[in-house]
A and B are shown apart, each in its own frame.
Chain A
Amino acid sequence: EIVLTQSPATLSLSPGERATLSCGASQSVRNNYLAWYQQKPGLAPRLLISAASTRATGIPDRFSGSGSGTDFTLTISRVEPEDFAVYYCQQYGNSKTFGQGTKVEIK
């Protein structure tokens, strides 16, 4: 099983700042099949990024994904008030596993 480790656990930012979230895999993710989701309290997760860098339909371009192999990054160029949430990475190259999440909170 591929284990995904996200860092940091919590990111404290002010609106307008840049957010950089990391996701490390215990082994190389086949075809860079790595996705990112956003989850707000009491709601289901929402798909943001697939295949490491492809934005899902309707996702603002301030969200971008990068990386390959075992190291992946989600960047929010300028955090908006609605972006404060928990973010999960997920690999789907070998079965499907999720990271433990990074909480982006208001500083």
Chain B
Amino acid sequence: EVQLVESGGGLVQPGGSLRLSCAASGFTFSTLWMSWVRQAPGKGLEWVANIKGDGTEIYYADSVKGRFAISRDNAKNSLYLQMNSLRVDDTAVYYCTTDEWHGIFPSWGQGTRVTVSS
């Protein structure tokens, strides 16, 4: 059974940084694209970034380009999201997802909450 467990969320001031982690199990992690998807309080879903299984291709939403960095460690079955220059509108629950068949999200973690506030 696929399991994705996010961690690293919390309260941070505007302009600060945070690193999210996602521990994966139940599948061959290194073979799958992975994504981060976020959801602001009471709002809809927004795709943030994704990374190919071997880490050689990475894409970002325009809203986070230049501020966020996605990475992975296949030896540790882990996905990361380094978030810098955080803004109030980055406040959201961040989900780690598998990214399959050109861009659908079949498996999701439980999410980790990031709050950017002074």
Binding site for B on A (CB under 8 A): 1, 31, 33, 35, 37, 44-47, 50-51, 56, 88, 90, 92, 95-101
Contact = CB atoms under 8 A, between A and B. Distances in A.
A88 B109 contact: no
A96 B44 CA distance: 13
A37 B97 CA distance: 13
B108 A44 contact: yes
B16 interface: no
Interface string B44-77: 1111000000000001011000000000000000
25 contacts: A1-B62, A33-B103, A35-B105, A44-B108, A44-B109, A45-B45, A45-B95, A45-B108, A46-B108, A47-B105, A50-B101, A51-B101, A88-B45, A90-B104, A92-B102, A92-B103, A92-B104, A95-B61, A96-B47, A98-B44, A98-B45, A98-B46, A98-B47, A99-B44, A101-B44
Interface of B: 35, 44-47, 59, 61-62, 95, 101-106, 108-111
A1, A33, A92 interface centre (most CB from chain B within 10 Å): A92
Contacts of A45: 45, 95, 105, 108
Contacts, number: 47
A44 B110 contact: yes
Contact of A97 (B47, B104, B109): B47
A95 B59 contact: yes
B59 to A, nearest CB: 7
A22 B6 CA distance: 32
A88 B44 contact: yes
Given A35-B105, A37-B45, 14 more contacts: A1-B62, A44-B108, A45-B95, A45-B108, A46-B108, A47-B104, A90-B45, A92-B102, A92-B103, A92-B104, A95-B47, A95-B61, A98-B44, A98-B46
